[in-house]
């Protein structure tokens, strides 16, 4: 089980993520992505799905045509954990 990040460890971890923001009313982080078309957006989601399944850590997300909204939170930790930071870094590396 992962531990929820807090204090200076959380601040440092979140400051390393570009464009990710804390979700209002939740202990979660989120980011929006826009692509040229649906095919590009869906391909992006597919690459994330494969990595997320391998890590057994799955995002909350939605897709409308060329837009993908992603929210990350580790439910068994009760908030943002190192798993979320690692997945966010992976997502940014393929965006």
CATH architecture under which domain 21-94 falls: 2-Layer Sandwich (3.30)
**48: Cα within 13 Å, side-chain hemisphere:** 29
Instruction: Point out the residues of the chain with pLDDT beneath 50.
Output: none
The CA distance from 3 to 49, in Å, is: 23
* pLDDT score for 54: 96
The CA distance from 60 to 58, in Å, is: 7
* pLDDT score for 2: 87
* pLDDT score for 28: 98
Of the chain, the end-to-end C-alpha distance in Å amounts to 28
How far is CA 30 from its chain centroid?
A: 6
Question: For residue 81, what is the DSSP state?
Answer: B
């Amino acid at each position: 089980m992962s531990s929820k990040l807090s204090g200076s460890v959380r601040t440092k971890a979140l400051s390393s993520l570009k464009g990710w923001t804390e979700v209002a009313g939740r202990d979660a982080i989120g980011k929006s992505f826009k692509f040229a078309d649906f095919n590009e957006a869906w391909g992006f989601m597919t690459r994330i799905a494969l990595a997320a399944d391998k890590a057994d850590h799955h995002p909350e997300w939605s897709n409308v045509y060329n837009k993908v909204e992603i929210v990350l939170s580790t439910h068994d930790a009760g908030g943002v954990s190192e798993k979320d930071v690692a997945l966010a870094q992976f997502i940014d590396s393929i965006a």
